[in-house]
Amino acid sequence: MKRKFESNVAAELPKTRDSEPNLPWKLSAEDLDKLNPHGEGVKTDDISSPPLKTRAIFPILLVLTIFVLLSQVVLDTYIENDNMLQSAAKMRQSAAKGQGELAALQVKVAQVSEEKNRLGENAIRLEKRIEDLSDQKELFTAALESLTKKNDEIIIEAPVVSEQR
């Protein structure tokens, strides 16, 4: 027995090719006689026609399905991108609006702090006036008390008339 790879396959290849028929669309009449030993009639039109004369519906549908799926993916990506752009624009608008409101609030806070400072100054001035008025009130009440006190000793001096004429 021969072991594997002891024989030269390349040298034996031409021997085997001689007994094989040609490809189906290149069959000759001799090859057909070898294949059909009973001598049944074979139409020669079948031999000259191309093999696999089938409809290509499956590959066409496959390509069409792949195209539709890819189109759907592209369309979904476009729609999602557009939605993201719109949401980003809305976020930018809301951020700008928020910054505007923040600036307006800062201006109002500055106005309120200025008004608070003015009211504080006015309160200080009023406190000073109240102190001055209370001092004046004390003086006034002291003066009134001194005027309203009855002195039992009222000295009325008569004017002295001199007689020199």
**Pair 16, 8: CB distance under 8 Å:** no
Averaged pLDDT of the chain: 78
DSSP-derived 3-state class of residue 52: coil
The C-alpha atoms of residue 103 and residue 4 are separated, in whole angstroms, by 91
Asked if the model's pLDDT at residue 128 lies above 80, the reply is yes
What is the per-residue pLDDT across 50-103, written as a single tens digit (0 to 9) for each? Answer: 555 556 788 888 999 999 999 999 999 999 999 999 999 999 999 999 999 999
Contacts of the segment 146-151: beta carbons below 8 A, 24+ positions apart: none
H runs (alpha helix) in 6-56 = 9-19, 29-35, 44-48
DSSP readout, 135-154?
A: HHHHHHHHHHHHHHSPPS--
